Amino acid sequence: MDTPWELVDLDSDFSRAPQDRPGSGRTPFDTRPRVVIGCAARPVAVPAEAYDVLLTGVKDAPRPWVSCADPRESADRLCDSVTASPDAATALVQVLRLGRNLAIPERLVAESLTYSALQGGTAFRHWLASTPHGTARPAERPVRLAREGDRLTITLDRPWVRNAVDAATRDALCEALTVAVADTSVARIHLRGSGPAFCSGGDLTEFGTSDDPARAHRVRVERSPAALLARCAGRATAHLHGACVGAGIELASFAGRIVAAPDTRIQLPEVAMGLVPGAGGTAGIPRRIGRHRTAHLALSGMELTAREAWSWGLVDEVTPSA
C-alpha cells in the first residue's frame, strides 16, 4: 500500500509557479487514504482544504495553522504517529474531511460507523491484547442531578476512576440530557465532574467487550449524550478541571460555553489505540478549532493545557472557579 502520509515542505515548494504548488491540482474533497501535512517557517497562502495539518514556527499562528518550535521536527513526529496507526490515522482525516459538509447528527453517524469498522481492525485488537484493563468499578448512581430554580446541574460522579464513562454513565447522561432538552423551564445547564478530574474518557474495562461492532454502532447513535447536548447547547456550560481525555473533551465540546480550571489537561488518545474519537470528537471539536487542529490534536496525541486550549478557541474561559 502507499505511504499513509504526504509531507510537504512549503518553504521550498512555495517557490514554484502557482499551478505547480502542492495542493493546486487537488479536488476540494480528497478521498485518498493519506494524511497530508504541510510545514513552513511562517504561514503562507496555500489552499488549506488540500491539507489535513498545517505546521509553522510562528508563535500564536492563526487558524488553521498549528504553532510549534520546529515545524519539520514536529512534522516528522506526526508522520511517525501516522505510520504507527495508518488505518486509524487515515480514517480520522477522511471523517474530518467528510464532516465539513454534514450537519452534527450526520457527522456523529459517520464517526460511529468509522469507529465500529476500526473496532474490528488488527491495530485495535493488538492494543486490547497488550493493555491491562483492570477491574470494573461501577457506581450505583454515576450521574447526579441538582435543580435550583431554572438551573440544572449534571455531575459525573465516579471520582475513583476520574469519571470514566462506562455504559451506565452514558445511559444516565442520556436520561439527564433528555430531561434538559424537553424541559424548556431549564434555562441553564451546568455539566461538571466530581473529584480530581472532569472526565478521563471511556472506561477501559469495557473496551472491546462488545463482539458485535454493528450493534455497537446502533447503540452509539441511539444513546448519544453528544447529540442531546448539541440540542440544548445554547443553555449549556461545561466546567472542566483535571483530566479531560477522549470522551471528556468530546462531550464538552458540544456545550455552548466551556470554562476550564488552570489544571485542565486535554487529550485525544484514540488514534494510538487503533481507533478514532467515538464520543463525538470529530463532530464537536472541529466546530470550535477547525478540522486541521483537530487532526493534529488526535494524530499527535499531544496534551493541551487550559491556556493552550483557550488560545485555540477550544475553551471560552480559564478561571480558578471553573
Summarize pLDDT for 71-130 with one digit per residue, the tens.
Answer: 999 999 999 999 999 999 999 999 999 999 899 999 999 999 999 999 999 999 999 999
Average pLDDT over residues 273-298: 98
Question: Is 292 part of a structural domain of the chain?
Answer: yes
Per-residue confidence (pLDDT) for residue 210, from 0 to 100: 78
When pLDDT is cut at 50, 70 and 90, the band that residue 28 belongs to is very low
Residue with cell 464532516: 99
Is pLDDT above 70 for 22? Answer: no
The structure's pTM equals 0.94
> What cell numbers appear for 259 in the block?
470554562
Shared-domain flag, residues 223 and 131: yes
117: Cβ–Cβ under 8 A, 6 or more apart, which residues? 91, 213
Separation between Cα atoms, residue 11 and residue 307, nearest integer Å: 29
Domain count, the chain: 2
- Amino acid identity of residue 288, one-letter, is R
- Provide the pLDDT for residue 20: 53
Q: Considering the domain boundaries, does residue 95 fall inside one?
A: no
Residues 43, 125, single domain; the answer is: no
Residue 133 binned pLDDT confidence (cut-offs 50, 70, 90): confident
The answer on 278 and 133 residing in a single domain is: yes
pLDDT at 294: 98
Q: Are residues 310 and 229 in the same domain?
A: yes
Quote the pLDDT of residue 23. 52
228/271 same-domain check = yes
Q: Is residue 93 part of a domain?
A: no
pLDDT above 80: residue 24: no
pLDDT at 211 over 90: no
The C-alpha cell 474495562 sits at 205
54: pLDDT strictly greater than 50: yes
243 and 291 within one domain: yes
Question: For residue 64, is it within any domain?
Answer: yes
All 3 cell numbers of residue 248?
Answer: 471528556
Alpha helical stretches, state H, 233-317 = 247-252, 281-300, 306-312
What pLDDT shows up at residue 21?
53
Please report, for the domain that includes residue 276, its CATH number. 3.90.226.10
CB under 8 Å to 146, separation ≥6 — which residues? 152, 153, 155
Helix (H, G, I), strand (E, B) or coil at 152: strand
Of the listed ranges 38-47, 164-173, 203-212, 282-291, the least confidently predicted one is 203-212
**Residue 267 backbone phi and psi in degrees, to 5:** -155, 145
Residue 89 inside a domain? The answer is no
**Does residue 63 contact residue 293 with C-beta atoms inside 8 Å?**
yes
- Provide φ and ψ at 106, rounded to 5°: -70, -35
Please report the pLDDT score of residue 18 as a whole number: 47
Q: Which domain holds residue 24?
A: 5-84
Residue 90 lies in a domain: no
Q: Which of 316, 239, 222, 292 is nearest to 67 (CA)?
A: 292
pLDDT for 12: 82
In a domain, 185, yes or no: yes
